[in-house]
Amino acid sequence: MIAAIQKTGATTKMQQQVQPLLAEIIDARYPKSGCAACDLRDLWCLPKGLNGDEFLQVDRIINRRKRIKRNEYLYRTGDAFRSVYAMRTGFFKTFITSSRGQEHVSGFHMTGELLGMDAICEDKHNCNAIALEDSELCEIPFSELEMLGRKIPSLQHHFHKIMSREISRNHSLVILLSSMSADERLAAFLLNLSQRMGARGYSFTQFQLRMTRGDIGSYLGLKLETISRMLSKFQEEGLISVQNKNLVLNDLARLRQIAEHTTAEAPGTPT
């Protein structure tokens, strides 16, 4: 469920806002070494312990590459469900638009996570997914994934674990929004980003936010003014240093104390 980022010390220019467009699809099969050469395969996408033949079977169904530019949609609410997407690089926001046109952020997704599982139940997507930076994904046709899962039990079990993780994230978010104060929510959010970045080999304490303060507020159920005020408060207290989108967590221990009502796994934390 959370966060947008890049390696320590890296900086990027904010690009000019453009009208979101449907993502360009590059219809080209991955080379056979695609999954084998991927640093993320053991982190989230594939179960450990696949034998050589099973690995090749999985690799064959990943037959399309999506390159999506910043502000482009991967899918929109109501789009037919065909595939799930494993994020190779980049950062995404998922959101729902109310009947009044208000945007409600439901999650932030980063490298190594899966997108599109919201549509399995009704065969259509119930939210929008938009790139917050230039991204690249592996497209996995769901019908082929299902068939392969019947042949490879460990693959099916792995996918069930991923879906269970998503359910746990949603439960954690309900707890976060119903029982925590504004400073507790923000502290838990920042700690979650730290954990997720560290799990990917990045710095636990220095990264760049890809989402806006308004996005953070929408996700945490807080107003933009409250997020801005809390960030300023945390900075004045020496907990963080923030300049534009560059963020440094100066005191993880004190942030944990503030977020003491969070569960062991903060919303969106991979297992």
Q: What DSSP designation does 99 have? A: T
Place 172 in a pLDDT band, splitting at 50, 70 and 90.
confident
Q: What is the mean pLDDT of the chain?
A: 80
Is 64 in the same domain as 133? yes
Is 193 in the same domain as 249? yes
Q: Establish if 103 belongs to a structural domain.
A: yes
Is 103 in the same domain as 210? no
**Residue-wise DSSP of 187-256:** HHHHHHHHHHHHHTTS-SSEEE--S-HHHHHHHHT--HHHHHHHHHHHHHTTSEEEETTEEEES-HHHHH
Residues in the chain: 271
Q: Establish if 69 belongs to a structural domain.
A: yes
CATH number, domain at 225? 1.10.10.10
First to last CA, the chain: 13
**Residue-wise DSSP of 36-76:** TT-TTIIIIIS-TT--HHHHHHHHHH--EEEEE-TT-EEE-
Q: Establish if 86 belongs to a structural domain.
A: yes
Is 152 in the same domain as 223? no
72-85 mean pLDDT: 96
Among candidate residues 172, 190, 205, the one where a domain is terminated:
172
Q: Establish if 158 belongs to a structural domain.
A: yes
Q: What is the pTM of this model?
A: 0.77
pLDDT of 63 reads 61
For 206, residues 6+ apart whose C-beta sits below 8 A from its C-beta are: 8, 9, 246, 247, 248, 249
Is 196 in the same domain as 124? no
Residue 164, judged by CB atoms within 10 A of its CB (0-12, 13-18, 19+), counts as: exposed
Q: Establish if 19 belongs to a structural domain.
A: no
pLDDT tens digit string along 193-206? 999 899 888 999 99
Residue 28 CA from chain centroid, whole number: 25
pLDDT of 184 reads 94
pLDDT of 132 reads 97
* Spatial contact of 197 and 108, defined as CB atoms under 8 Å apart: no
Is 167 in the same domain as 246? no
Look at residue 33 and tell me whether its pLDDT is greater than 60.
no
Residue 26 CA from chain centroid, whole number: 22
pLDDT tens digit string along 224-250? 999 999 999 999 999 999 998 999 999
97-116 mean pLDDT: 91
Beta bridge partners of 247: 207, 242
* Spatial contact of 137 and 186, defined as CB atoms under 8 Å apart: no
* Overall domain count for the chain: 2
The amino acid that residue 219 corresponds to is Y
Expressed as residue numbers, the domain containing 30 is 25-172
Is 50 in the same domain as 152? yes
Helix and strand numbers, DSSP H then E, in the chain: 7, 12
Q: Which two tokens stand for residue 168?
A: 């746990």
CATH number, domain at 145? 2.60.120.10
Is 111 in the same domain as 193? no
* Spatial contact of 212 and 201, defined as CB atoms under 8 Å apart: no
Is 54 in the same domain as 115? yes
* Spatial contact of 2 and 196, defined as CB atoms under 8 Å apart: yes
For 70, list phi and psi in degrees, rounded to 5.
-55, 135
pLDDT of 161 reads 81
Is 139 in the same domain as 36? yes
Q: Establish if 3 belongs to a structural domain.
A: no
For 20, list phi and psi in degrees, rounded to 5.
-55, 140
Per-residue exposure over 211-250, b if at least 16 CB sit within 10 Å of its own CB, e if not? bbbebbbbbbbbeeebbeebbeebbeeebbeeeebebebe
Is 60 in the same domain as 185? no
11-39 mean pLDDT: 41
Is 86 in the same domain as 143? yes
Among candidate residues 172, 191, 213, the one where a domain is terminated:
172
Among candidate residues 156, 172, 188, the one where a domain is terminated:
172
